[in-house]
C-alpha cells in the first residue's frame, strides 16, 4: 500500500508579524512604567490608548507607552486592560 502523499503534510501556519512579547514592567502609582525588563525608565516620550474590536469576543484595550530607558534604548510597552499583563511591541 502506498500512503497518500497529500495527507503527510500538515498545514503550515502563517504567523503574525510584530506579535507582542511579554515584558517585566514595574509601574508608578499612576500606571506609567518606572522600570522595564529591569532597566530604569529615563523618559516617557509618548502615551496613547487603543480600544478596538469591542464588538468581538476578543476586544482590545491597551495603554501604550513610548519610553527611553537609561541605557538609551527606545522601547514601546503596553498594558493590556483585560489581563493586566505588560508587553513590548514595535508600534
Tally Cβ neighbours within 10 Å of residue 25: 21
Q: Taking the complex as a whole, how short is the minimal distance between the CB of residue 29 and another protein, in angstroms?
A: 28
Sign of CA dihedral 72, 75, 81, 82: negative
Of 9 and 38, which has the nearer Cβ to another protein?
Answer: 9
Residue position matching grid coordinates 503534510: 9
Q: Which residues contact another protein by CB under 8 A?
A: 1, 4-6, 9, 11-20, 50, 52-53, 60, 89-91
Q: Which is nearer to another protein, 6 or 29 (CB)?
A: 6
Separation of alpha carbons 44 and 69, rounded Å: 9
> From CA 22, how far away is CA 41, in angstroms rounded?
17
CB of 88 vs another protein, minimal distance in Å? 11
**Of 26 and 52, CB closest to another protein:** 52
Amino acid at each position: 500500500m502506498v500512503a497518500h502523499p497529500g495527507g503527510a503534510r500538515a498545514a503550515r501556519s502563517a504567523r503574525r508579524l510584530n506579535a507582542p512579547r511579554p515584558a517585566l514592567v514595574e509601574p508608578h502609582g499612576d500606571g506609567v512604567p518606572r522600570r522595564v525588563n529591569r532597566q530604569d525608565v529615563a523618559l516617557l516620550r509618548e502615551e496613547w490608548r487603543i480600544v478596538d474590536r469591542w464588538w468581538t469576543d476578543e476586544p482590545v484595550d491597551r495603554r501604550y507607552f513610548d519610553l527611553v530607558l537609561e541605557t538609551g534604548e527606545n522601547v514601546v510597552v503596553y498594558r493590556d486592560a483585560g489581563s493586566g499583563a505588560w508587553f513590548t511591541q514595535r508600534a
